Structure 1
Amino acid sequence: MQQNQFEKIKNGKGFIAALDQSGGSTPKALAAYGVQEDAYKNEDEMFELVHEMRTRIITSPAFDSDYILGAILFEQTMDSEIEGMYTADYLAEKKGIVPFLKVDKGLADEENGVQMMKPMPELNSLLKRANERHIFGTKMRSVIKKANPEGIKGVVDQQFEVGKEIIQAGLVPIIEPEVDIHSPEKEKCEELMKAEILKHLDNLSDNEHVMLKLTIPSQTNLYKELIDHPMVVRVVALSGGYSTEDANEKLKANDGLIASFSRALSQDLNVNQTDEEFNTNLEKAVKSIYEASV
């Protein structure tokens, strides 16, 4: 782990850009960008097109380390190149932005009101490759839909169990138990989840640092205790389906919580825009998310 990157993420001003849509969410991300499903014949062509979209975002002058601390990549993006450099190296060396990698393999079916992460049999080899590609940290997502104590405990236990493997590989895990914004029990889910997370944080040893990626809470500043915890590098918020405007407004109310938005970052970008239009729209989104984060 690079100490200068650790300091930047812990104390820097800005937000984390989420550019990690994977197999299931890629067609949706491309469609929102104006690339319909008839534009590609197979998965390889689809990933090629999404890499072009991400390359356009990353190489834009609006994608600037004055506002963006880190970026979360999908595995295929990590293994792809931008201007002759692996994506993580391009981010770190050309842009001064810290690279993260999404490592989960998607969600299992709902049980006990939650969706756990699917098994990750190849995690060790993926973490080895992440180190070779100069990745700083990882991200993995579960989803909480109902205020079921057993289900929520299971999600948080699984996240920290995998998180410890990631720490042992020398990377910083972003632990993401997302609470569904449409859950009728959202507030109760968040209280139960926070209690479970605190138990795990209190049991970490001095060299076991984690980040948290959480849905913006219904109760303002609910996560202050997590943000201030000595073993937490940073707490970032996902937009969870809120529009950029809504997500920014909710974020501003929570002290110390910074954004890690995906859809909210790219919702106004389109494949048919001129570079000037594209860069202007991206800059507007970047600056609005930055303002909400600081």
Structure 2
Amino acid sequence: MKTDQQPLVTTARQLMAGKKGILAMDESTATCNKRFKAQGIPETEEYRRKYRELLVTTHGLEEYINGAILFDETIKQSTVAGDLFIDILVKKGIIPGIKVDAGTVSMAGFMGEKVTEGLDGLRERLAAYKKLGARFAKWRAVFSIGTNTPTVTCIKTNANVLAQYAALCQETGLVPFVEPEVLMDGGHSIEKCAEVTNQVLQAVFNALHRHRVNLEGIILKPNMVLPGIDHPIQNNNDEIARATIACLLNCVPASVPGIAFLSGGQPTLLATERLNAMHRLFNASLPWALTFSFSRALQQPALEIWKGNDANINAAQQSLLHRAACNHAACMGSYTPEMEKVIPNLIY
């Protein structure tokens, strides 16, 4: 049964409004624990809760952030005072969303390639998350560039799964974030990344069309077009901006309301600088809103300051707010390196 599409379109536009971004705080338990271990933070549910409380209670975050992607554990968690995180976000005017894929597994018969699981029971899970207050969802597919990868089979399989997920989201009344990530691991050139990203995005939008997904009610969450981290030539920010925008203009219909980049392991400052370059060079000619949906590139500095110590919460929140403000400026093409010298003061 087809749901009323207007609320989806409205939510998608709200998520992309005002040059604000999306906070990706949807790390799985394993990923969160891995980052905690590197900082000497206890790998427990209570410390994950404390960290997420730090994020959602940051004063002024709503000035730069429109939405927050939560994890199954997070959407049910509360502050030490008993306030649900999702209620705090809604009160701030930040739209809550939820990661719903079950992670990637090896693709049978295709060495080194992955397929994302989680379609089984998804309709019921989406309905439950919507009842909890989620208004959008996220599903990630990954593609590795190698000598013989990604294969056409891998691309089409993941594109089809992404489209099935998106259709189920819209049926439930949730805006789907469609996240096909071409990984930056490896020694490939920026030209190779552009070629593969074009193939992936074309396959994804073909699949979305076949599954009758309303493109006005989705958000695309792609990678930037980058050289592999091991490639000897690391292109400058303007070259990366031009390659990325050329790819998106070639593949993404104008009916899509917005594109929110993942950071994909890019260094914090480079992710901001590259987003800024895209807006500085192309802002007036883009048919869709272009913003950020970063995880590590927003949170890592705050995590390194916090280190699990309550005495560091205020400083960590200032760092998070600062990175959000810098990326908000990048969405206007007005970010400058001088902004890194000014950390905003939080007022309580």
Distance 1:208 1:4 in 2: 9
Deviations along 1:172-224, one digit per CA (max 9) or x if unpaired, are: 11111111012424222101012213323545365872111111124130213
Which amino acid is 2:127 matched to? K
Distance in 1, matches of 2:251 and 2:94, equals 24
Would you say 1:23 and 2:37 are equivalent positions? no
C-alpha distance 233-89 of structure 1, shift in aligned 2 (>3 A): farther
- For structure 2, the 5+ residue unaligned runs are 1-6, 227-242, 280-288, 333-348
Alignment root-mean-square deviation, CA: 2.3
Instruction: Measure, in 2, the Cα distance between the counterparts of 1:235 and 1:112.
Output: 31
2:220 to 182, 197, 212: 212
Q: Secondary structure at the match of 1:194?
A: helix
Within the alignment, does 1:240 sit opposite 2:237 as a pair?
A: no
Structure (1/2) with the larger helix percentage? 2
AA at the equivalent of 2:218: V
Q: CA deviation at 1:133?
A: 1.0
Query: Deviation of residue 122 (structure 1)?
Result: 3.0
Q: TM-score, normalised by structure 2?
A: 0.74
1:70 maps to 2:67: yes
Q: How does 1:144-159 map to 2 (within 5 A)?
A: 144-145=143-144, 146-159=149-162
Q: Which amino acid aligns with 2:328?
A: Y
Segment drifting more, 71-80 vs 210-219? 210-219
Q: For residues 210 and 290 of structure 1, do their structure 2 counterparts lie closer, same or farther at Cα, with a shift above 3 Å needed?
A: same
Deviation at 1:283, TM superposition (A): 2.1
State yes or no: 1:283 paired with 2:282. no
Q: How many angstroms does 1:249 deviate by?
A: 1.7
2:9 is the counterpart of 1:11 = no
Alpha carbons 1:227, 1:257 under 8 Å: kept: no
Structure number, greater radius of gyration: 2
Amino acid at match of 1:155: N
* 1:125-151, Cα deviation, whole Å (9 max, x unpaired): 321221111101000111101342221
1:12 aligned counterpart, secondary structure: helix
1:198 aligns with 2:205: yes
| 3-state SS of paired residue (1:116) | strand
> Distance in 1 between the 2:113 and 2:322 partners?
35
TM-score by length of 1: 0.87
Distance 1:165 1:21, change over 3 A: same
Equivalent residue runs for 1:1-294 within 5 Å: 1=7, 5-35=11-41, 39-40=42-43, 46-62=44-60, 64-82=61-79, 83-93=81-91, 95-110=92-107, 111=110, 114-145=113-144, 146-183=149-186, 184=188, 185-203=192-210, 204=212, 206=214, 209-218=217-226, 219-221=243-245, 222-224=247-249, 229-230=254-255, 232-255=256-279, 256-269=289-302, 270=306, 271-272=308-309, 274-294=312-332
Distance 1:248 1:101, change over 3 A: same
Quote how far apart the aligned CAs of 1:235 are.
1.1
Q: Which has the higher strand share?
A: 1
Conserved 8 A contact 1:86-1:133? no
- Alpha carbons 1:32, 1:267 under 8 Å: kept: no
Instruction: Give the percent of matched residue pairs that are identical in Structure 1 and Structure 2.
Output: 26
Letter in 1 for 2:26: D
Match of 2:231 in 1: none
Rate the CA distance shift 1:9–1:228 in 2: closer, same or farther, 3 A: farther
